[in-house]
């Protein structure tokens, strides 16, 4: 089992550019979560999918952020346009329906200059 | 008031001592409670879950839950330098298959050799 896979692991971009983060959940897991972690705010839930359907996107900070899950094995988080305050570590996590344990990916460290 | 509160620390304990980590939550109907460990630069990993009042032991770790006081704690016996990490408390107040959890900002634990 490869665990949750995220790419890229590091991303450095300039303000105003589009950023796309990718996630492959663990096979068989029905729920997928995107988090953002900063020193100031800790780990914040951005959006939660169940069976590829967005269930709760109340944590998405603004319209510049969007997320999709076109199938059970792939999700993207897009920021357009990016701003320096978006700099953070973005984690993807997945969990099976039968359990609450969330398995986290290695994260993407985003730096917006 | 934050939904899940933890003392940010750092909490310093000597090797071999008991480390006590505390967490309070605001939603009285919360159903599920979790402790995650996060090493610096790594992703969170689940170490304990607890659903009922009382104690739950797993090796050197004991989780304690008191729903009346809205309080959950994690005890680490015989602390080792390898236990040095940030410990995140997470709470699911919804239950019923809704798997969203809210994380505290974490307590940094330092075990001094």
Q: What are φ and ψ of residue A99, in 5° steps? A: -145, 160
Residue A31 near chain B (CB below 8 Å):
yes
Chain A residues in contact with B45 by the CB 8 A cut-off are 104
Token readout for A99 is 């359990």
**Rounded to a whole number, what is the distance in Å from the CA of B54 to chain A's nearest CA?**
20
Peptide bond into B48 cis (omega under 30): no
For the stretch B5-63, pLDDT in tens is 998 889 999 999 999 999 999 887 777 899 999 999 999 999 999 999 999 999 999 99
What is the Rg, in whole angstroms, of the alpha carbon atoms belonging to chain A?
Answer: 13
**Res B101: pLDDT:** 85
Task: For chains A and B, count residue pairs whose Cβ atoms are closer than 8 Å.
Answer: 49
Mean pLDDT, to the nearest integer, of A44-73? 93
What residues of chain B lie within 8 A of the CB of A38, using their CB? none
pLDDT of residue A33: 95
Nearest of B11, B18, B7, B34 to residue B106 by alpha carbon? B7
- Nearest chain B CA: its distance from A37 CA (Å): 9
Which token pair is B18?
């008991």
In chain B, which residues have their Cβ closer than 8 Å to the Cβ of A107?
A: 43
Nearest-CB residue to A105 (from B43, B92, B97): B43
Cβ distance B105 to A42 less than 8 Å, yes or no, reads yes
Tell which wins on pLDDT, A79 or B1.
Answer: A79
Q: Are residues A86 and A75 in contact, defined by beta-carbon separation less than 8 angstroms?
A: no
The position carrying tokens 């329906």 is: A97
Candidate ranges A59-63, A93-97, B60-64; pick with highest mean pLDDT:
B60-64
Cβ contacts of A44 on chain B, cutoff 8 Å = 103
Task: DSSP for chain A, please give it.
Answer: ----EEE-SEEEE-TT--EEEEEEPPTT--EEEEEEEETTTEEEEEEEEETTEEEE-TT--STTEEEEEEETTEEEEEESS--GGG-EEEEEEEE-TT--PPEE---EEEEE-
State which residue of chain A sits closest to B38, comparing Cα positions. Answer: A104
Candidates A42, A45, A101; nearest CB to B100: A45
The closest of B40, B52, B54 to B10, measured between CA atoms, is: B40
Confidence (pLDDT) at B100: 80
- Cis amide bond preceding A81, omega within 30: yes
Residue of B nearest to A91 (CA): B43
């Amino acid at each position: 089992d490869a665990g949750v896979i995220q790419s890229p692991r590091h991303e450095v971009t300039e303000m105003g550019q589009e950023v796309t983060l990718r996630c492959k959940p663990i096979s068989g897991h029905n729920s997928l979560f995107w988090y953002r972690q900063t020193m100031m705010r800790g780990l914040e839930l951005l959006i939660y999918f169940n069976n590829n359907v967005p269930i709760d996107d109340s944590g998405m900070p603004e319209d510049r952020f969007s997320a999709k899950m076109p199938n059970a094995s792939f999700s993207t988080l897009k920021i357009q346009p990016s701003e320096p305050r978006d700099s953070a570590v973005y984690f993807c996590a997945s969990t099976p329906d039968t359990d609450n344990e969330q398995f986290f990916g290695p994260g993407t460290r985003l730096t917006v200059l | 008031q934050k939904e899940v509160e933890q003392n940010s620390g750092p909490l310093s304990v000597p090797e071999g001592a008991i480390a006590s980590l505390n967490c309070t939550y605001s939603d009285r109907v919360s159903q599920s409670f979790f402790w995650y460990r996060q090493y610096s630069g790594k992703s969170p990993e689940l170490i304990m879950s607890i659903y009922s009042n009382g104690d739950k032991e797993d090796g050197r770790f004991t989780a304690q839950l008191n729903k009346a006081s809205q309080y959950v704690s994690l005890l680490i016996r015989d602390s080792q330098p390898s236990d040095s990490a940030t410990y995140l408390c997470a709470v699911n107040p919804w239950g019923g298959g809704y798997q969203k959890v809210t994380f505290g900002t974490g307590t940094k634990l330092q075990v001094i050799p």
